[in-house]
Amino acid sequence: MTDVPSGAVPRAPKLRAIAWQDIVAALKLGIRDFARAPLYGLFFGGFFALGGVAIFLFLGVFDAPWMIIPIAIGFPLVGPFAAAGLYEVSRRLARGEPLTWKAVLITVFRQRERQLGWMAFVVLFIFWVWVYQVRILLAIFMGFSAPSSLDRFMTVVLTTQSGITFLAVGTLVGLVLALILFSATVVAMPLLLDTELDFVTALITSFQAVARSPLPMLGWGIIVTALTLLALAPAFLGLVVIMPVLGHATWHLYALAAGRETAP
């Protein structure tokens, strides 16, 4: 973490505008970190994959497999908080600090006592808004007789007027919520791991960073979304690799914006 003199009030770092070359550099550095510390990446990536499988099985038990669609899209959005361990691995590699399981896991565990813990409430709130808006839209466009099987649900959504309308409106609302969550976390999460800032200041700083570089940041969001959805396809197994790379890359994107390091 960035050292703050005793009694001093921590201030948010001045973030520079992000350019497209920074996105490319962050991805390269993310891949490099995964290659340098693959066991750490696979360990934290495994949580994403296991979480996705567990959610799918949970929904199946309650005979609501159609909910796997919004859950599968919404589940990776909570990733920045779970990626705290990946941020710590990248931070240590960049600074040449010892990389041990004890040091990384202690850092992750300590986040529950710091401001990063409060960000979990923000992330989970937006996540649950996403889930409930799907249920509300289902009730509006399909009544209370939503299909109980995934095959039947997809047939209704893709072949009926009400289903297509539900898909269009739901996608639009989901994009808005995803943009809000992305803007709130893309810088705030690594920033809170790196500093002693309060989570409100981190949120504001994150939104300002996105507003300062809207097109590159939007491009980064699209890359994250596309790779995550691609990773979901093979029974969530792709998350084991994709999420660690994105986690490492997110740290480096923050570090580049904050002047903590330079692009290779």
Look at residue 45 and tell me if it is in a domain.
Answer: yes
User: Is residue 20 in a domain?
Assistant: no
Which residues have CB under 8 Å from 52's CB, separation 6+?
72, 75, 232, 236, 239
Tell me, yes or no, whether 229 lies in a domain.
yes
What domain range includes position 156?
A: 30-258
pLDDT at 42 over 60: yes
Burial class (CB in 10 A: 0-12, 13-18, 19+), 49: buried
Predicted local distance difference test score (pLDDT) of residue 160: 84
19 within a domain of the structure (yes/no): no
For the segment 53-71, what is each residue's pLDDT rounded down to a tens digit?
777 776 666 666 556 555 6
Judge whether 4 lies within some domain: no
Confidence of residue 5 (pLDDT cuts 50, 70, 90): very low
Using CA atoms, how far residue 153 sits from 63, 66, 144, 159, 162, in Å, is 12, 6, 13, 10, 12
Tell which wins on pLDDT, 82 or 217: 217
For the question of whether the overall pTM of this predicted structure is more than 0.75, the answer is yes
Domain presence at residue 183: yes
In a domain, 56, yes or no: yes
* Mean pLDDT score across all residues of the chain: 83
Return the closest-CA partner of residue 203 out of 216, 187, 214, 224.
Answer: 187
User: 192 and 114 in contact (C-beta within 8 Å)?
Assistant: yes
Does 9 reside within a domain?
Answer: no
258 has a pLDDT exceeding 50:
yes
**pLDDT > 70? residue 72:** no
* 143 phi, psi to nearest 5 deg: 70, -155
Total tally of structural domains belonging to the chain: 1
30/36 Cα distance (integer angstroms): 10
The two structure tokens encoding residue 69: 């669609």
Q: Is 260's pLDDT higher than 50? A: yes
